[in-house]
Amino acid sequence: MRLGKYIKAAFMNHWNLLGFGAGLVFAFLTGKPDIVAPLVMAGEVAYLGLLGTHPKFQKAVDAQDAKRQRDSQARTSDEALKRILRALPADSLRRYESLHQRCRDLRRITLDLRSPGRRRSAMPFERLQLQGLDRLLWIFLRLLYTEWSLDRFLAHTDEDAIRDDVLRLEFRLKEFRDDETNPRKMKARETIKDTLETARARLDNLRKARENHELVQLELERLENKISSLSELAVSRQEPEFITDQVDAVATSMIETERTMNELQFATGLTTDDESIPELMSRDRVEA
């Protein structure tokens, strides 16, 4: 399967298509296509076999595929970012902007500690991982969106009405006995069972939303406090490497939180699968 991918890439190369097409045209122009065309075909097969199995060519094809995948993931994350910023209320956006500014201050402090007096524009920000801060900010934005989505979900979901539906459907289901001789009754029974399962799933989603609503709020506060603590450590310890490790540690500690957000996809529509992290630290300000 993988070899087929490389051979296809070699064949679809525009120079190969041009040369192969020109060879076939030449074969017909010679007036002896029955002799020349097979030679052209044989040369094409040899070319595809040699190039398709060459390690350097395979690495180049894999690199192109990886780039396309990254570009696709970047587009997905940018679309998610725009959707989040359009939906979040003003107070949530202000809360994010405050945290974003703290991260920028943390970066500035670390750069000053590493090379005092140098122009920041000339400093490669390598030791303090921008990716780690981007990830923290992205998780925070998603948490804000999750909190907002859960607020709306809980406000518009009537638990009593769903429970009444479950009881009513359970009662109706008891009225239908298994009767394979009556297709119409069997069809009605299956319809009621499916509706009952849907109602029970709605109750389960409501329970999950309530249980995680407070957790999301606590995680927002924890992340804000972590960033504030890192900013203070940047000043007191004056150790850029230590700050780098702490940023990475905080980002790693949020893995379980990201899983929780995935479980709440029914309310938020967001998922971390196949999604890259937007470059938030490079932006002076995120505009809704």
SS3 (DSSP) at 190: helix
Highest mean pLDDT pick, 109-123, 202-216, 262-276: 202-216
**Confidence band, pLDDT 50/70/90 cuts, at residue 177:** low
Residue 110 falls within a domain, yes or no? yes
- Residues 28 and 168 reside in one and the same domain: no
In a shared domain, residues 159 and 32: no
Query: Would you say residue 165 lies in a domain?
Result: yes
Does 47 share its domain with 189? no
DSSP 62: H
For residues 37-60, average pLDDT: 78
What is the Cα–Cα distance from 281 to 104, expressed in whole angstroms?
7
Same domain for 133 and 34:
no
Pair 41, 76 in one domain = no
Distance separating alpha carbons of residues 217 and 233, to the nearest angstrom: 25
**DSSP 8-state secondary structure symbol assigned to residue 234:** H
Residue 214 lies in a domain: yes
The verdict on pTM exceeding 0.75 is no
Residue 247 contacts residue 109 (beta carbons within 8 Å): no
Tokens (6 digits) for 275: 């999604």
Number of domains the chain is built from: 2
Residue type at 6 in one-letter notation: Y
Helices 255-263 and 240-253, axial angle in degrees (round to 10): 30
Highest mean pLDDT among 140-154, 163-177, 179-193, 241-255: 140-154
Query: Within this chain, do residues 19 and 92 fall inside the same structural domain, yes or no?
Result: no
Tell me: the pLDDT tens digits for 187-234? Answer: 888 888 888 899 999 898 888 888 888 888 888 998 888 887 877 776
For residues 59 and 54, what is the distance between their CA atoms, to the nearest angstrom? 9
* Residue range of the domain that includes 24: 2-53
Q: State residue 144's pLDDT score.
A: 92
DSSP assigned state of 120: G
Kindly state whether residues 264 and 240 are assigned to the same domain. Answer: yes
- Whether 77 and 11 share a structural domain: no
Output the average pLDDT for the chain. 76
